[in-house]
A and B are shown apart, each in its own frame.
Chain A
């Protein structure tokens, strides 16, 4: 069978990333230009600044990617683009770049949903095994998705308010940790004990999540201490917060596994870089006797390789977009 080379472009948030992936599983090159250092100054991603950075980076990233892969654009079979959801101004840079290349070289343009990309990042490690359950956890998403086959997405539940990563960032800011807050809380929580009592949000029979109440509880607790002139133990607070988050994620994921009878559990999205979450999910897999797949850290955050991997399967299924393709800040996975 002829090898298929897909160029994947991702610019949904604050990373300009382009990769070339062979047959949906082998990464030939991946370049990520992260803007964390820029946005750190503002305590979070500033959309207009993100767009401004993307356009400065785009041709550098393209050039570096083709250099690393030692390929010419002519060799590429199709161009996969993360068209949404995400920050509209950021998405547009990747979109216009993808459309321009597709036009200049008359290559098929493959629209890829950002979350599909996160799920398919796992295919770069081991093949997806259906039926599978994917827990997508990032700064913009918290979703449980069931898949019977390639590109058959059934959303079982999602967050009703804040995404889990967003909640981490906000809690981190309140207790004075730098952006991005996720890795900081994860690190700090190892030095503390979960001594503070925090509510388990949306502890019900659904597969939905809610994190805004938990966030408020942390903020209020911190505030109470400040008013009494006392300082809260940061490490203990981080540990208490993280414990509730992980217990909630594990509990709903476990119920979804029982309901669907899936063979594989996939953890995807930026928060899957969280060490404690990884440990908890691997334990759950052992307990439930199903395979757990978590992409390596470099593929947890936004990257072009995951878009190329998903793009390969979409390409095989005949999914195409024309040059009128537009970015979508909000878009259902389907």
Chain B
């Protein structure tokens, strides 16, 4: 099976092409504000480097959040339209799961800065979920995680008070984890923001 993996949920553009047990090529670039302009050209470059045509991909794995709302949507629009147009399989992957899978330690706590003292985070033990993907208040979240033992924090964001190790995707491991997973109908592959919009939040608070 040939898999195209794409993650634009952070300031980094992460993409890889997998074929029959091997990573044929990958791209890891800091695009930040240039994501909307450059994500597609980078994807094109990657496929050209591994000498594949878009139609030779069987399955697209797309990171559907959490992370930058705009970033998530850039990659997901590309992935959804790609899968729809060329009738390819598509499967969403959590950014936090990808981060945990890429770290070898026993207890892994991937976190993404969600500002104002909040993070998107989860706690994994060897790929098993102990605390599910969520939008957490950082201090409370760390206290809760502590009960499970000593964890390693993975993050590409800066948390001055915390000891973190940087995230670099282990593409082979992430892709092989989801190789047997059933794909989803393209229309229903959508972002997982893990957070309501401010307008929805206000309305929700006003109602209850």
Closest to A73 in B: B85
Is B73 at the interface (CB under 8 A from chain A)?
Answer: yes
Is B166 at the interface (CB under 8 A from chain A)?
Answer: no
Query: Is B77 a contact partner of A97 (Cβ separation < 8 A)?
Result: yes
In angstroms, Cα B194 to Cα A205, docked, is 54
Q: Which residues of B contact A46 (CB under 8 A)?
A: 197, 199
**Which secondary structure dominates chain B's binding surface?**
helix
Q: Which residues of B contact A58 (CB under 8 A)?
A: 77, 80-81
Is A67 at the interface (CB under 8 A from chain B)?
Answer: no
Query: Is A104 a contact partner of B36 (Cβ separation < 8 A)?
Result: no
Closest to B197 in A: A48
Q: Which of B40, B54, B69, B190 has the most CB of A within 10 A?
A: B40
Closest to A98 in B: B81
Pick the contact of B69: A59, A89, A324, A326 (CB < 8 A).
Answer: A89
In angstroms, Cα B82 to Cα A93, docked, is 13
Query: Is B85 a contact partner of A104 (Cβ separation < 8 A)?
Result: yes
In angstroms, Cα B85 to Cα A63, docked, is 9
Is A244 at the interface (CB under 8 A from chain B)?
Answer: no
Is A56 at the interface (CB under 8 A from chain B)?
Answer: yes
Query: Is B81 a contact partner of A59 (Cβ separation < 8 A)?
Result: yes
Chain B contacts with A in 46-91, Cβ cutoff 8 A:
54, 69-70, 73-74, 76-78, 80-82, 84-86
Is A330 at the interface (CB under 8 A from chain B)?
Answer: no
Closest to B43 in A: A103
Give the size range of A's interface with the partner. Answer: 20 to 34
Interface string of B15-47 (1 = CB under 8 A from A): 000000000000000000000111111001000
In angstroms, Cα B81 to Cα A97, docked, is 6
Query: Is A327 a contact partner of B36 (Cβ separation < 8 A)?
Result: yes
How many B residues have CB within 8 A of the partner chain? 31
Q: Which residues of B contact A56 (CB under 8 A)?
A: 190
Query: Is A100 a contact partner of B190 (Cβ separation < 8 A)?
Result: no
Is B198 at the interface (CB under 8 A from chain A)?
Answer: yes
Is A325 at the interface (CB under 8 A from chain B)?
Answer: yes
Q: Which residues of B contact A55 (CB under 8 A)?
A: 73, 76-77, 80, 190-191
Is A118 at the interface (CB under 8 A from chain B)?
Answer: no
In angstroms, Cα B82 to Cα A51, docked, is 19
- How distant is B205 from chain A, measured CB to nearest CB, in Å? 14
Is B200 at the interface (CB under 8 A from chain A)?
Answer: yes
Chain B contacts with A in 138-193, Cβ cutoff 8 A:
186-187, 190-191, 193
Which residues of A are in contact with B by a Cβ distance under 8 Å? 41-42, 46, 48-49, 51-52, 55-56, 58-60, 62-63, 73, 88-89, 92-93, 95-97, 99-101, 103-105, 323-327
Q: A96-B36, A96-B73, A100-B77 are in contact. List 13 more A-B contacts (CB 8 A).
A: A48-B69, A48-B197, A51-B73, A56-B190, A59-B80, A59-B84, A63-B84, A93-B73, A96-B74, A103-B44, A104-B85, A324-B38, A324-B41
Can you list 6 A-B pairs, Cβ within 8 angstroms, ordered by A?
A41-B203, A49-B200, A55-B77, A55-B80, A92-B36, A323-B41
